Structure 1
Amino acid sequence: MSHRILFVCLGNICRSPAAEGVFRARAPHHVTDSAGTMGWHAGNPPYGPMQAAAKVRGIYLGDLRARQFTAADFDRFDLILGMDANNIADIEDLRPAGSDTPVRLLTDFAPEAGADHVPDPYYTRDFDGALDLIEAAVEGLAAHLDS
């Protein structure tokens, strides 16, 4: 069964495109997209250092382009995954009345990682650490969806 999954972070140039890229490599039978709660980078490719860190792991992000999350995304996706609590709050602020689309933290799918969010490597500069956490969560997500 195919699911429609949306990954969301702040600017859609580091965490959410990385999560989309890792997930589509791991589970290509699902439909994926990514977005940012802010539209600063709309139309831009993922941040160069994130693309480079992902490429070392065999994950290609160069075809992705940033876009801003909208209320219509609640209708287009079966599951919306935020990277941190602020992303979740911003997503929920746009929830249309009557929408029951689940919104969860990506890290919910990697409890063994002991993290309650994916830190933003745009600020921390820890692209590999973010990717480690994203890969663990994507494994858990894929197992959950395919069970």
Structure 2
Amino acid sequence: MLVSWNSYYCYILSSAPQYYSREGVFRMTETDTRSGLYLVFVCTGNICRSPMAEIIVRDEMEKEMLDLVATVDSCGLGGWHVGQGADERAVAELRRGGHDGGSHRASKLGAEHMDADLFIAMDKGHREALIEHGIDPAKIRLMRSFDPNSPEDADVADPYYGSAADFETTRKNIEAAVPGLLDWIRANRD
């Protein structure tokens, strides 16, 4: 645990950030603790593709200590699943890839996401919807655009109505894009 003092607060930097003041102990919000780059993965309902991308990328960032310079999040364009966990097939496929998706809770695109440095859309429809929400097109990339072996403008197909094999394809498409995305983070960090 790392402790930082200033004249009024004692900050404890850990997996559950808190600060101590004369008034007591308070929990910091994600926005309070966010520093550096902020990336948001976007799909339709935030139960399959975007949480898979968020979890896989976060795990890889932690391995290279890039989580110290960037924060990742995910959301859906629709609110059908807000508060629910990821699709059980997505969680199972993440587990097969060595990742834990059990704590994910779906959220909908909202004001808390609008200060993102980069929105990573899973498909062209999501990119267009983000533009319709007023997001600068220069701040939007398709996930597979980070994979140099991917066809131009390729989507991460929605596995929701598919089979376990479709979820595996989704994971592999995301994993193939991770090195390029980590390179982007390195090139754009403060």
Q: When the two structures are superposed, what TM-score results if normalisation uses the length of structure 1?
A: 0.90
Q: Is the 8 A contact 2:142 2:155 kept in 1?
A: yes
Counterpart pick for 1:112 among 146, 149, 154: 149
Q: How many residues in Structure 1 have an aligned counterpart in Structure 2?
A: 144
Bigger shift: residues 65-74 or 102-111: 65-74
Find the aligned partners of 1:84 and 1:11 in 2 and give their Cα distance: 13
The DSSP-based 3-state class of the residue aligned with 1:27 is helix
Find the aligned partners of 1:2 and 1:138 in 2 and give their Cα distance: 19
Root-mean-square deviation (CA), in Å? 1.8
Counterpart pick for 1:124 among 162, 171, 178: 162
Counterpart pick for 2:61 among 27, 37, 54: 27
* Structure 1: gaps spanning 5 or more residues: none
The one-letter amino acid of 1:113's match is S
Structure possessing the higher relative contact order (Cα contacts under 8 Å, 6 or more residues apart) = 1
Alignment of 1:6-25 (within 5 A): 6-25=40-59
Q: Is 2:127 the partner of 1:91?
A: no
Bigger Rg, which one? 2
Q: Is the 8 A contact 2:49 2:156 kept in 1?
A: yes
Which structure shows the higher helix fraction?
1
Q: Is the 8 A contact 1:70 1:94 kept in 2?
A: no
Deviations 1:19-45 (A, max 9, x none): 000000001312111000011000011
Residue 102 of structure 1 deviates from its aligned partner by 0.4
Q: Is the 8 A contact 1:10 1:36 kept in 2?
A: yes
Which structure shows the higher strand fraction?
2
Q: When the two structures are superposed, what TM-score results if normalisation uses the length of structure 2?
A: 0.70
Find the aligned partners of 2:81 and 2:172 in 1 and give their Cα distance: 24
What fraction of aligned residue pairs are identical, expressed as a percent?
Answer: 34
